[in-house]
Amino acid sequence: MKMCSVRIDKLTGIVEMEASEDIKAGDYIVSELDKGVCLGVVITEPEETKKTGLKKVTRKATEEEIKEYSSLKEKEQYTFDFCKKKIQEMHLPMKLLWAEYLFGGTKLLFYFVSESRVDFRELVKELAKEFKVRIELRQVGVRDEAKIIGGLGNCGNVCCCRKFLNNFSIVSIKMVKEQSLALNPAKISGICGRLMCCLSFEYDMYADYKKNFPKVGKRVTIPQGEGKVVKHNTLSSTLIIELDDGKQVAVGLKDIKTG
């Protein structure tokens, strides 16, 4: 099987295709996603993959389908503005993020964030009366908001969630500590205010490297004498040892003896 990155509206994800399919970057494809049938454009050349659980490319889109979909996209700004106006008129506690027509114009999705549960039944009636299609309002979290709106991370690049992540992985403080990073919220939080997704990318590697490291606080013996471990330098396979006289020295893992 092969995979490629596909941009569907404002989001980018990874999809799977048959190895025999003649699909290349720039082609428009039809794919079945959780929200329904969608049209997207391939943004990377297909490559072999062993990943499982990816959404599949159904087929290439026809020229007529592309034109029809482009026409729908031009209407989305009006649908967004109309919905936002109704939200304000109804004084609903919600922040509208994005309006989206699905492929074929069979459904109109509105994404929003809110700190509380929202009764939007009357809003749906108004939207259905105006646009005469199936209406769906989806409440999303702050991480989804960052994925939809986008922005730059601390690294200066486009947020991973916007650029290529299909799903959000679990990120914990344990991952931060395992990589010896400072617990500074400004440096370990993304624009969503949650722990950065990229903290999970190298966690398994760090955990594997440190399997043979004595824990911080453990007493060890080194050529310079006895002391306790105060810090790990994982990538260089060295540790900082505080000797009994208070002096700190850096030594390689191979030079350490544990009692």
Segments making up each domain of the chain, as ranges: 2-61, 66-140, 145-206, 213-258
Q: Could you tell me which CATH class the domain 213-258 is placed in?
A: mainly beta
Q: What is the pLDDT of residues 125-135, one digit of tens each?
A: 999 999 999 99
Cα–Cα distance for residue pair 126/133, rounded to 1 Å: 11
Q: What is the pLDDT of residue 9?
A: 55
Pick the CATH number of 66-140 from 2.20.28, 3.40.50, 2.60.40, 3.30.300: 3.30.300
Q: What is the pLDDT of residues 12-47, one digit of tens each?
A: 556 655 544 677 778 888 877 777 777 777 877 766
Supply the mean pLDDT for the chain: 82
Residue 117's CB: how many other CB atoms inside 10 A?
8
pTM across the whole model: 0.68
Cα–Cα distance for residue pair 222/199, rounded to 1 Å: 32
Beta bridge partners of 8: 11
Cα–Cα distance for residue pair 166/95, rounded to 1 Å: 23
Q: What is the pLDDT of residue 241?
A: 84
Q: What percent of the chain has pLDDT over 90?
A: 21
